[in-house]
């Protein structure tokens, strides 16, 4: 039997409390009434009172309560072996599973792992089958099951090297389990010998467990915790017209004292201007942000590498960066006048989307004829369509054709807009109007579809109050089509809706954003609502792919631009579009991935390939902790960290009885309460008397 939380056994020290209480408690005395003491001589006498522990049964119950509480919270368990009958001569099949993930490259961990694997191999009887597997984010069978000569196994163990890949314990144990049980008879058992640094992985918490038919043996290497720093994140953002800031986060995993680190950024182009290094002092277990102000011409992409001084794990001291400036999103603001009248809906929209270095919009103001003649067929541009009394039927027909062909638009409806303008999209219009004035305001904006992408950013408690937005004049959007969706309502009227037509889609506002119809243009939410709507309608530029070392071609094919002809990887290998996918199974060199397409004759950066910085974490499980997480039970509750566990430690099912102890605790508590109450009601026993006159 063992316990999961042994520190709770310290509660047994509280056994002395009930003993002390019963020991110092004054004995109960019987009062004897006496008429007078005047004829009784006074004789000085020293009385030494001998106190005896009273109510021994009650004391024992209270001691038992303390013991049960300590045991229950320490969660005792025993291992119940599965009933699998093996003959004395029944051999075991063994899998030696060696961790070759990136964390094993720290210091001499891999050498320790090779020595441990050889020691395990030497302890396995010659008549039993042995296989050697290595694992990281995939599993490779180095030597399949064999008996007899172990020369090939010894050679394969000696050739094991760490690889710059993420580790996956569950995957390794699953494959080992399938190898052991795949061809085994139901009564046969196997043993997994896991050699690893047992690095803590948060994603390991899961319901899967190693089969009870498989015995488990663990050996932890790399017990010493080296000083290790990692560059964990990097991001770039614009500052003003031509300013650019690069922010890099550096983490110190383990150290006995604060560490001073110098972070440098080096651009890929040797002729590019460099930035001065940034120094930070990090406390153990903390992270710090280093910010670089980069010289930039406001147009070209930025490609470079962040680096710090090499330490126990050099691979996580580099982080490659490639940033492409996001071009401004094209938006056509279409109304009857290219110079909107001050205070009109088009004027408020134009001011809200004013061009500057910090806004993502490239706005063109066009009248209906110019838009229809030159840009109506360009569906790459989103359209902000503003209706008014001057909008002609021909202009409306051209707009609907634009949407049918794949265009995306925000439609602003006017009181003069015909009720059947959007009938083809399943939206019929109904006028709801009040005279302007405080007493004639319609109900406030009372319902918003926060699950829709346009309003998803307003769903938090800080931003979800729309009650101060009110309307004087609006059109009720009656949705009749199956492809329509209400996004906002007030006073029973649908104010905002989405409708699809052909290959395109529209967001429809049933009101004019001017002060005659609503107070929205003066509200703080006006610009955010407008921008979120246009972001939903305009296509986003794909971000620079952030790939992790270990990725293969099959995983990134769907990220490639359509015109891609070939890729060049950091190890200088080139993949042609016509080449088989399996030829590049696993990219294990960090750096930049360059792309060549049909329109260019030279390579240009496309993606970055970085190692998994989490592999720099120096925190480790003990083998016992690991066994409790991924095995049917812990067969190694007190495993020495530098000793190979006994091969005969068999696995079984862990049975805890902490909860039955709690039930027993409740029963004894009731018994103790009843006994204490009964004793308090009984007559006191004979004891030294107190005389009352």
Dist CA 231 CA 316 (whole Å): 6
For the chain, what is the radius of gyration of the CA atoms? 39
Confidence of residue 450 (pLDDT cuts 50, 70, 90): very high
pLDDT in tens, 302-338: 999 999 998 889 999 999 999 988 777 788 899 888 8
Residue appearing with tokens 């891609």: 564
Q: Which residues pair with 548 in a beta bridge?
A: 610
**Range of lowest pLDDT (21-25, 179-183, 218-222, 591-595):** 21-25
Q: Rounded to whole angstroms, how far apart are CA atoms 425 and 499?
A: 6
Band (pLDDT 50/70/90 cuts) for residue 206 is: low
Q: How many residues does the chain have?
A: 693
Tokens read off for 88: 């004395």
> Which SS3 state, helix, strand or coil, does residue 116 take?
helix
What integer pLDDT is reported at residue 601 of this predicted model? 65
Q: Is residue 543 scored above 60 in pLDDT?
A: yes
What is residue 658's predicted lDDT score, i.e. its pLDDT? 65
> Read out DSSP for 213-264?
TEEEEEEE---S---EEEEEEEEEEEETTTEEEEEEEEEEEE-SS-EEEEEE
Write the CA distances from 269 to 264, 272, 295, 679, integer angstroms. Answer: 15, 5, 13, 91
Residue found by looking up tokens 């316990």 in the block: 3
Q: Report the distance separating Cα 575 and Cα 552, nearest Å.
A: 11
Longest dimension (CA), the chain: 135
Q: Are 403 and 504 in contact (CB under 8 A)?
A: yes
For 482-527, write each residue's pLDDT tens digit: 889 999 998 778 999 999 999 899 999 999 999 988 999 999 999 9
206 closest CA partner among 174, 162, 236: 174
Give the range among 50-59, 411-420, 491-500, 659-668 with minimum mean pLDDT.
Answer: 50-59
User: Is the Cβ–Cβ distance between 668 and 64 less than 8 Å?
Assistant: yes
Higher per-residue pLDDT: 660 or 101: 101
> Please, which pLDDT band fits residue 33 given cuts at 50, 70 and 90?
confident
Q: 90-99, 202-211, 359-368, 486-495: lowest mean pLDDT where?
A: 202-211
Instruction: Read off the pLDDT of residues 549-582 as tens digits, 9 standing for 90 and up.
Output: 988 888 888 888 878 888 999 988 888 887 776 6
- Domains of the chain and any CATH numbers: 2-80+659-692 (no CATH), 83-223+620-650 (3.40.50.410), 329-537 (3.40.50.880), 546-608 (no CATH)
> Is the distance from CB of 495 to CB of 509 less than 8 angstroms?
yes
pLDDT single digits (tens) 212-255: 788 888 999 988 888 999 999 999 888 776 778 999 999 999 88
Q: 3-state class of 200 per DSSP?
A: coil
Q: What is the mean pLDDT of residues 670-680?
A: 86
Instruction: Please give the pLDDT value at position 643.
Output: 37
Question: Taking all residues of the chain, what is their mean pLDDT, rounded to a whole number?
Answer: 82
* Range with the poorest average pLDDT among 39-43, 252-256, 489-493, 650-654: 650-654
Determine the pLDDT at residue 651.
36
> What is residue 188's predicted lDDT score, i.e. its pLDDT?
72
pLDDT > 70 in the chain, percent? 82
Asked whether 31 and 59 are in contact (CB, 8 A), the reply is no
Mean pLDDT of the region 458-462: 86
Q: If you average pLDDT over residues 256-277, what whole number do you get?
A: 90
Q: Which two tokens stand for residue 387?
A: 């209706």
Closest CA to 499 of 433, 421, 395, 444: 421
**Percent of the chain having pLDDT more than 90?**
36
pLDDT for 209 equals 78
Whether 655 shows a pLDDT value over 80: the answer reads no
pTM over 0.75: no
Per-residue pLDDT tens for 136-166?
999 999 999 998 889 999 999 999 999 999 9
DSSP 78: E
* Cα torsion angle, 79, 84, 88, 93, sign: negative
Q: Which residue has the higher pLDDT, 549 or 431?
A: 549
Q: What is the mean pLDDT of residues 279-291?
A: 93
- Are the CB atoms for 640 and 633 separated by under 8 Å? no
Ranking 59-73, 99-113, 656-670 by mean pLDDT, the lowest is 656-670
Q: Is the pLDDT of residue 481 over 70?
A: yes
Q: What is the DSSP letter of 678?
A: H
pLDDT value of position 600: 60
- Based on DSSP, count helices (H) and strands (E) in the chain, helices before strands: 12, 32
SS3 content of the chain, % helix, strand, coil (to 5): 25, 30, 45
Task: Report pLDDT for 195.
Answer: 96
């Amino acid at each position: 039997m063992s316990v999961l939380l042994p520190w709770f056994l310290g509660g047994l020290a509280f056994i002395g409390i009930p003993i002390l209480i019963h020991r110092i408690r004054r004995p109960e005395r019987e009062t004897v009434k006496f008429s007078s003491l005047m004829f009784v001589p006074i004789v000085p006498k020293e009385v030494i009172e001998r106190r005896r522990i009273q109510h021994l049964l009650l004391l024992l119950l209270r001691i038992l309560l303390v013991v049960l509480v300590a045991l229950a919270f320490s969660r005792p368990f025993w291992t119940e072996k599965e009933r699998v009958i093996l003959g004395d001569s029944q051999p075991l099949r063994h899998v030696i599973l060696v961790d070759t993930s990136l964390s094993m490259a720290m210091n001499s961990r891999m050498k320790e792992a090779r020595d441990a694997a050889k020691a395990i191999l030497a302890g396995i009887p010659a008549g039993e089958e042995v296989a050697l597997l290595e694992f990281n984010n995939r599993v490779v069978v180095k030597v399949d099951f064999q008996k007899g000569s172990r020369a090939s196994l010894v050679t394969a163990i000696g050739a094991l090297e760490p690889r710059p890949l993420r580790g996956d314990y569950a995957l390794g144990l699953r494959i080992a389990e399938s190898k052991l049980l795949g061809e085994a008879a139901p009564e046969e058992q196997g043993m997994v010998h896991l050699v690893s640094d047992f690095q803590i992985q948060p994603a390991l918490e899961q319901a899967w467990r190693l089969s009870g038919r498989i015995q488990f043996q663990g050996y932890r290497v790399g017990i010493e915790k080296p000083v290790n720093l990692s560059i964990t994140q990097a991001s770039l953002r614009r500052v003003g017209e031509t300013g650019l800031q690069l922010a890099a986060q550096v983490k110190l995993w383990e150290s006995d004292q604060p560490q001073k680190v110098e972070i440098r950024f080096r651009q890929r182009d040797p002729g590019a201007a460099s930035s001065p290094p940034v120094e930070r002092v990090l406390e153990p277990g903390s992270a710090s942000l280093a910010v670089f102000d980069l010289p930039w011409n406001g147009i070209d992409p930025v490609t470079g590498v962040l680096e710090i001084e090499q330490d126990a794990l050099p691979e996580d001291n580099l982080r490659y960066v490639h940033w492409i400036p996001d071009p401004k999103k094209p938006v056509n603001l279409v109304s009857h006048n290219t110079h909107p009248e001050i205070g009109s809906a088009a004027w408020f929209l134009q001011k809200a989307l004013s061009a500057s270095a910090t806004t993502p919009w490239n706005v063109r103001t066009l009248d209906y004829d110019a838009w229809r003649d030159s840009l109506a067929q360009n569906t790459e541009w989103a359209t902000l369509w503003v209706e008014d009394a001057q909008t002609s039927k021909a202009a409306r027909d051209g707009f609907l054709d634009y949407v049918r062909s794949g265009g995306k638009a925000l439609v602003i409806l006017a009181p003069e807009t015909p009720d059947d303008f959007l009938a083809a999209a399943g939206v019929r219009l109904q006028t709801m109007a009040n005279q302007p004035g405080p007493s004639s305001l319609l109900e406030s904006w009372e319902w918003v579809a926060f699950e829709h992408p346009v309003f998803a950013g307003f769903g938090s408690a800080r931003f979800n109050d729309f009650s101060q937005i009110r309307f004087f004049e609006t059109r009720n959007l009656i949705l009749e089509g199956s492809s329509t969706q209400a996004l906002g309502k007030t006073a029973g009227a649908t104010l905002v809706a989405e409708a699809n037509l052909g290959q395109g889609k529209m967001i429809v506002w049933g009101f004019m954003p001017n002060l005659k119809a609503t107070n929205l243009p003066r509200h703080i939410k006006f610009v955010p609502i407008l921008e979120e709507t246009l972001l939903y309608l305009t296509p986003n530029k794909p971000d620079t792919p952030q790939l992790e070392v270990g990725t293969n071609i099959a995983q990134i094919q769907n990220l490639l631009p359509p015109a891609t002809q070939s890729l060049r990887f950091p190890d200088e290998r080139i993949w042609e579009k016509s080449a088989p996918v399996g030829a590049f199974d696993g990219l294990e060199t960090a750096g930049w991935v360059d792309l060549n397409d049909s329109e260019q004759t030279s390579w240009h950066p496309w993606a970055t390939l970085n190692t998994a910085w989490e592999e720099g974490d120096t925190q480790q499980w003990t083998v016992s902790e690991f066994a409790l997480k991924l095995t049917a039970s812990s067969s190694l509750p007190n495993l020495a960290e530098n000793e190979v566990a006994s091969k005969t430690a068999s696995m079984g099912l862990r049975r805890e009885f902490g909860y039955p102890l709690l039930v027993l605790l409740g029963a004894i508590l009731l018994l103790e309460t009843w006994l204490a109450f009964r004793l308090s009601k009984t007559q006191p026993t004979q004891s030294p008397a107190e005389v009352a006159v």
